[in-house]
Structure formats: structure tokens, C-alpha cells
Amino acid sequence: MRNQDIQLPSLIFVGHFAIDNIITATKLHKPTLGGSVSYCSLALRIYTKNVKISIISHIGTLNLKESHLNIIKKKDIDFKGIIFSNTKNTNFLLDYSNRERILTLKSKSPNLEFEDIPMEFLKNPPDLVVLVPICNETSLQYVSQIATNFPNAYIGIDLQGFVRKIDEYGNVSIAHNDDIMLTLTKLIDTVGDKLILKGSEEEVMMLANEHRDVLMTMENFKEYDTNGIFIMTRGENGSVIYKKGYQILEIPAFKSKKIVDETGAGDVFLSIFLFEFLQSDKSWKSIESAAYKASAAASFLIEKKGLSGCESKKKVLNRVKRRNYIKEKGGFEYI
């Protein structure tokens, strides 16, 4: 069994687990497991058995019950990179009562330190390391150490956890565009051509001086000396993907049967895209194919609450074949 595992492609997801406390117009809901590492790892495991999945994280046991992790533990996901300590875990309040999300950080697990990564991971490096922080728990130095110690691995990064601004009261917002630009430049310089970076429309549009045109914003990446891949996720407007020297890809969003909970859709997109990319010949056509599968996978997630919307590759491929998009491709104008 161990030899079979070694033959499988391997991904490590890095970031905090979170406990999400959600308020809607009607009530405060029961706390649920959240955090990008949760959505990314579970979505990929349900999508396919043919991948080795590990997580690097730090969990505070004071306000995270072991039962919260059961949904992940049951899915053959490696927990050796997770530290448990007698501290408070990362805990968010998500207030949707006024039809927009107000995010507040109530507590935070300790930041991740490279020295805590198990030696086994260093001796048997993964094919891809995915950095999905949610509250600045991975520093730029940490990214540099990852890039240095895993020189042959692709590195996926979700911009979200690097550009969140959190004040003394826990109020969460997006950093100023100059700060985002500086962070992005450091990430690109550190990782180089192995970088695959995803940001939401709101985050990436902050890089533009004028928030109007998606196409022009993506073309700003031409200024960087890198052959990395850059993804902007746009909700029901799909996604756009840039790589220097290629025509920008516009990927439509697939229609869901119903919309229940959109939390984690970007995480599922990133996770499935990275796996399919890793399995491909890395051509632009195969990257487009990977993005369609990722988009279809994300459309399933929002049909159910929390982590329960993840689906198998078979169902995802069936939805891809149907081509039932929310809107046809065309039109990058920012509204």
C-alpha cells in the first residue's frame, strides 16, 4: 500500500482550519468546520481517490471539538503535518444578516512555522504545495522557505490570506491596493515560474488603478518576469486565467440546481484545477480543460451547505459535458 501511495501525485495544503459561526437574517447557526484547507482537501478527496493529500496546520483545541474534524479524518487525508496545542483555534464570525458578508476574526491559532514541518515531507517532497492561509498565518518568509526546500514542486497560492487586513477588534477587510501590489510582487519574485496564484475578483481588481476592465487588469501581469499562472475567480461570471505569451482564457460558471451556500467555492475551484493541472501535459489547452472541470466542481459545492456539496469526478465530468453555463463566454467589462 505504501508503494502505491508513492506512485500517486501528492499535494500538501497549508493553512489554518477555522470554526465558522454564521449569522443570517433568521438566526445564529451551529458552528461548523471551515477554512480553505478543509474545503480544498475534502473536495479533492471526494473528487478522486488517486492522489495523496496531506495538510500542514496548527489547531487550537480550546475551541475546536474533535468531532468537527471527523468529516476530514474519515477521508484518508494525512494529518502528520498538523500540530495540536492547548490554545484557541482560528474562529470567525460571518454575519450575513444584511445580505452582505461581514467577517470578524474572534480568535487565531498560532502562525505556521517552517520548522514544524515533519521531516518526512522534506525527504519525500510533494508534487505541489498549496498555500491557502485565511488570516496571515503564513508569512512571506514561510513562502520563501517552502520554495527553497521544495524546488521541484509547483506552488499554488490563494491571495486571500496574504492580503487580509485585520484590525485590533478582529474586523477583516482587504488591504490597500499598494500593499497588495507589494505582496504580489514578493510572492512572484519568491516562487517564480512554478507559481499558480488565485485571487477573487475583488482582490485582483484592487491591483488595477481603475476598477473597470477585467481583461486589462489581467494583462497587468505582463509586467512581471514570470511564466506563472494567474487566476481570477468571478462567482457567477466564471473565471479568467492568464499566462504570459498566451491568450487569456475566459471560463464560464456552470449552472447549479440551486444556490444554498457559496462559501468555499473558490477553494474547490483551486483544488480541482491544481490536481488536473498536475495530471496534464501543462499545455494551454489542458489548462483550459482543467479550469472547466474546476468550474463545474465549484458549481456543485454551492448546492448544499458547508462541505457537503463536494462531488465525484464522474459527476463533475457529466456536468462539463452538458455545457449548461450561467452565461456564455464573452465580455470582460467590470461592472
Residue 20 exposed, middle or buried by CB count within 10 Å (0-12, 13-18, 19+): buried
8 A C-beta contact, residue 50 and residue 11 = no
287-291's contacts with Cβ under 8 Å and 24+ in sequence apart are 287/229, 287/241, 287/243, 287/249, 288/241, 288/249, 288/251, 291/231, 291/239, 291/241, 291/249, 291/251
Q: What is the pLDDT of residue 212?
A: 67
For the whole model, what pTM was predicted?
0.94
Q: What is the pLDDT of residue 329?
A: 57
Dmax (CA) for the chain in angstroms is: 54
* Residue 142 host element (H or E): helix 140-149
8 A C-beta contact, residue 302 and residue 265 = yes
- Give the CA distances from residue 269 to residues 39, 188, 222, 242, 265, in Å, rounded to whole numbers and listed in that order: 10, 21, 24, 16, 6
Nearest partner of 39 among 326, 320, 302, judged by Cα: 302
Q: What is the pLDDT of residue 283?
A: 97
Residue 110 exposed, middle or buried by CB count within 10 Å (0-12, 13-18, 19+): middle
Report DSSP state, residue 269: H
Distance, CA of 323 to CA of 225 (rounded, Å)? 35
Domains of the chain: 2-322 (3.40.1190.20)
Give the residue ranges of the chain where pLDDT is below 70: 1-6, 209-212, 328-335
8 A C-beta contact, residue 89 and residue 35 = no
Q: What is the pLDDT of residue 333?
A: 45
**Where in the chain does DSSP place strands (E)?**
10-14, 18-23, 32-34, 52-60, 78-85, 91-95, 102-107, 128-131, 154-158, 164-166, 172-174, 195-200, 229-233, 239-242, 249-251
Q: What is the pLDDT of residue 330?
A: 54
Q: What is the pLDDT of residue 210?
A: 55
